[in-house]
Amino acid sequence: MAIRHFEKFFAIAEKLALKKKKDLNELREIGETILGEYTAKGHMTLMPHDSLKMEYYSLIPLIKHLLEKHGNPDIVQSPVEKMPDSSWMADASFCFINVRGTGAASGTHGDFINAAKLLPVLRVNSIHLAPFFECALEIIYGIDTLTIIDENTVNAEFLKAGMKSDEQVRFFTDLAHLLGMTVGFDIEPHTSQFSRIALEHPEYFRWIRLSASREEIAGKKKQLDMLTDAAQKEIHAAIKPLREKVLAKYGLKSLEQSGKDAVSKKAHYELIDELIAAGFWTVPSHTWKGAGLPEFSHYVDEQEFPEFKYLSTDGEDHREHAFGTLTPFRFYDNIPLNRIPKPNNPPVPNEETIKYFTNIFPALYKKFRFDYLRFDYVDHVWDSVLDKAGKIPISDRITPYVLKKTIAKARSGGRKFIGAMAERMGTDIQVYKKAGFDLLLGDDILKPIGLPLLKDTFKLNKKIEKLNSKPGKKVNIQFAVDTHDSSHPLFNVTPMLIYGAKGVGMRMFIARFSGWGNAIRSKYELIGNQDGTTGLYLANNKVVSVEWKSEKDMNDIYHNIENTYDFLLPRLKKANFVDFIPIQRKAAYWIFEDDQGKMVFIVNLTEHASIPSILIKEIKVFKCASMINPYTGQKRMMSHLLVNELPPLECRIVFIQV
């Protein structure tokens, strides 16, 4: 039996090509050329933006080839589905894709059908999918629902022709699996302020009700009194008839009813207006360093929203760091306002909320066959608890206790292969491992290119090697070439904007060639790193596309580095670390050794000055030597171990038989 969404794709792609009066034979020939390159290389060298311009029909030969290669299955299997555990995560390389932001033309949004064309051009084996459900204020991490897919990620032509939104997502994940890739999805410990989730399930969130004047809590109550279980149940009971009234008006069973997207959106907005008019508001998320829960301060009449007071654990005003448009899940009760809870009166887990939260990923897995979950907003969870077990929070943040239960639930039912990644800009993987995590994002993106970055990298790699030499699951800390938050005003460290193509290439080189054996790092990149594209941070927060640059030099560097890595990986897996040699503050090289000889990796860390020559003086006698430029793929033999004229932000690899 054929897989329905692939059959639909084939039929609709042909129909659209004929509608546009395209020559099917010509499109088929293009498709055969694409297939030829893929079967020869295992990837395509088209630049990402060019791949988006490819006609749908030209993708058919590749898909049919992949289906035949997998025995024309009734269900596409994940490449890791039969793994005994999630150790595969430690060896994987990742690319972040915000589907909405991959529009082929200015003023357009991306969609899952077109974004699938990007997969064969990426030199990674795992995709990190950004949130793609309906969101608030165009911010993709301001989740509104986990059932209604954002229309700005859906291909309208295919939808009109009968390929549903869910089928389009499954088409993407199944094609990734056919290509040998895994796919993961972001799990958020919060939703948008008036999300459909919060309105359908008010009991899983914290609410307040303001007086008619909006100047105080209704009934002259204190906020803590309104946050008691009894008071919260009164609010839930008051919200329910307002919701049922709106649902009845629009003939809906639920605000998250699939297939009624336009109607449910209208009903959603109307219910929000009703709730605000009645004085109901969810309590917003506290800040990263927040203590307890934020406290209602006053109502901003001009903008019509309640303002809260946000105090840090040090008692400082952290309002400027607040996410007022998000509300956290009510994982705990009995949390004080703007102060750390007392050990003799700790917060109490709300097991009903936790149960609901832990069931989110299994439901998504059933629909889309995701291979791992990536937790957002968990950067400081171990800093935000009072106990070593990670069960008692100091604020409204998710705790290691809840994370551990969520990961365990994701892996239940024979799914031990499901991976877990933490958005943690740190290196304490051994701590996060206790909750079930396989990977951390790492903090490399926060460090400029230079000797300190390299020294820290090798120090960390030795730590990873030691951790993975012990029995049990492998873990890793990613080397992030870039992150989707690097353009955030707090960071401003986007490599392409700071260093240009060679700087991005240098970060890719370090990501790929600073590790050995059990210390080989997991690479993390973004869509756009391949060709100099920027603008992803904005695309995460507005319905706009990234700014495609299509820089050939960058794309060549990307593929040549990956070709070199593929060639060297068998040796890197067997290699041992020998030495790291800094050269003043301008350059450095490091030496690995395996049974074939020594490998020397040389880098010029300066942005503007060439290094006249570098002598590998540690090796006195050798049989033969050769050198490769990983940016170009050019190789040459060497009669001596002197590397001449290394340009700024370039690198070389020297192979030596001793």
Copy the structure tokens of residue 26: 């010509």
- Residue 1's pLDDT band (boundaries 50, 70, 90)? very low
* 651 has pLDDT over 60: yes
Whole-Å CA distances, 372 to 5, 226, 359, 422? 22, 38, 14, 11
pLDDT digit string (tens) for 325-334? 999 999 999 9
Q: How far apart are CA 495 and CA 539, in angstroms?
A: 17
* 193 has pLDDT over 60: yes
Q: Which long-range contacts (CB under 8 A, 24 or more apart) does 592-599 make?
A: 592/516, 596/571, 596/657, 597/655, 597/656, 597/657, 597/658, 598/655, 598/656, 598/658, 599/568, 599/571, 599/575, 599/653, 599/654, 599/655, 599/656
Copy the structure tokens of residue 483: 């992150």
Copy the structure tokens of residue 90: 């430690």
For residue 76, which amino acid is it?
A: V
Give percent of the chain above pLDDT 90: 95
Copy the structure tokens of residue 464: 């990873």
Q: Radius of gyration of the chain from Cα atoms? A: 27
* 462 has pLDDT over 70: yes
Residue spans of beta strands (DSSP E) within 61-215: 94-97, 126-129, 182-187, 190-192, 207-209
Q: How far apart are CA 23 and CA 9, in angstroms?
A: 18
Q: Is 138 helix (H, G, I), strand (E, B) or coil?
A: coil
Q: Is 638 helix (H, G, I), strand (E, B) or coil?
A: strand
Neighbours of 355 (CB within 10 A): 12
Contact (CB, 8 A) for 212 and 279: yes
User: What pLDDT, on a 0 to 100 scale, did the predictor assign at position 499?
Assistant: 95
Q: DSSP code of 594?
A: E
For residue 222, which amino acid is it?
A: K
Copy the structure tokens of residue 277: 């008019």
Nearest of 545, 475, 590, 399 to residue 104 by alpha carbon: 545
Q: What's the whole-model pTM score? A: 0.97
Q: For residue 545, which phi and psi values (nearest 5 degrees)? A: -90, 160
Contact (CB, 8 A) for 575 and 586: no
User: What pLDDT, on a 0 to 100 scale, did the predictor assign at position 258?
Assistant: 82
Q: How far apart are CA 419 and CA 374, in angstroms?
A: 8
Copy the structure tokens of residue 443: 């903090």
**Region 274-297 average pLDDT:** 97
Q: How far apart are CA 112 and CA 98, in angstroms?
A: 10
Q: How far apart are CA 161 and CA 12, in angstroms?
A: 7
- Burial classification of residue 156, based on how many CB atoms lie within 10 Å of its CB (0-12 exposed, 13-18 middle, 19 or more buried): exposed
pLDDT digit string (tens) for 357-395? 999 999 999 999 999 999 999 998 999 999 989 999 999
Q: How far apart are CA 19 and CA 412, in angstroms?
A: 47
Q: Are strands 419-422 and 372-375 parallel, antiparallel or unpaired?
A: parallel
Q: For residue 478, which phi and psi values (nearest 5 degrees)? A: -70, 150
Neighbours of 7 (CB within 10 A): 11
Q: Match domain 576-657 to its CATH number in 2.60.40.1180, 1.10.10.10, 3.40.50.720, 3.30.870.10.
A: 2.60.40.1180
Query: Token pair 């705990």 is at which residue?
Result: 332
Q: How far apart are CA 461 and CA 394, in angstroms?
A: 32
What HEC string does 390-426 produce?
CCCECECCCCHHHHHHHHHHHCCCCCCCCEEEECCCC
User: What pLDDT, on a 0 to 100 scale, did the predictor assign at position 107?
Assistant: 84
**Region 205-218 average pLDDT:** 97
User: What pLDDT, on a 0 to 100 scale, did the predictor assign at position 566?
Assistant: 98
Dump the DSSP string for 251-271: T-S-TT-TT-HHHHHHHHHHH
User: What pLDDT, on a 0 to 100 scale, did the predictor assign at position 106?
Assistant: 80
Q: Is 627 helix (H, G, I), strand (E, B) or coil?
A: strand
Degrees to nearest 5, angle at CA 315 with 311 and 321: 40
Neighbours of 514 (CB within 10 A): 24
Average pLDDT, the chain: 97
Q: Domains of the chain: which residue ranges?
A: 576-657
Give percent of the chain above pLDDT 70: 100
- Residue 336's pLDDT band (boundaries 50, 70, 90)? very high
Q: DSSP code of 213?
A: T
Copy the structure tokens of residue 214: 């909006």
Residue 103 C-beta-side C-alpha neighbours within 13 Å = 19
List the single range of 9-13, 103-107, 649-653 with lowest mean pLDDT: 103-107
**Region 117-124 average pLDDT:** 99
Contact (CB, 8 A) for 185 and 258: no
* 593 has pLDDT over 70: yes
**Region 19-40 average pLDDT:** 98
Dump the DSSP string for 489-525: TTT---HHHHH-HHHHHHHHHHHHHS--GGGPPPEEE
* Residues linked to residue 96 through DSSP beta bridges, in sequence order: 128, 526
Contact (CB, 8 A) for 534 and 540: no
User: What pLDDT, on a 0 to 100 scale, did the predictor assign at position 493?
Assistant: 87
Q: Is 432 helix (H, G, I), strand (E, B) or coil?
A: helix
- Burial classification of residue 623, based on how many CB atoms lie within 10 Å of its CB (0-12 exposed, 13-18 middle, 19 or more buried): exposed
**Helix, strand, coil percentages, rounded to 5, for the chain:** 40, 20, 40
pLDDT digit string (tens) for 153-181? 999 999 999 999 999 999 999 999 999 99
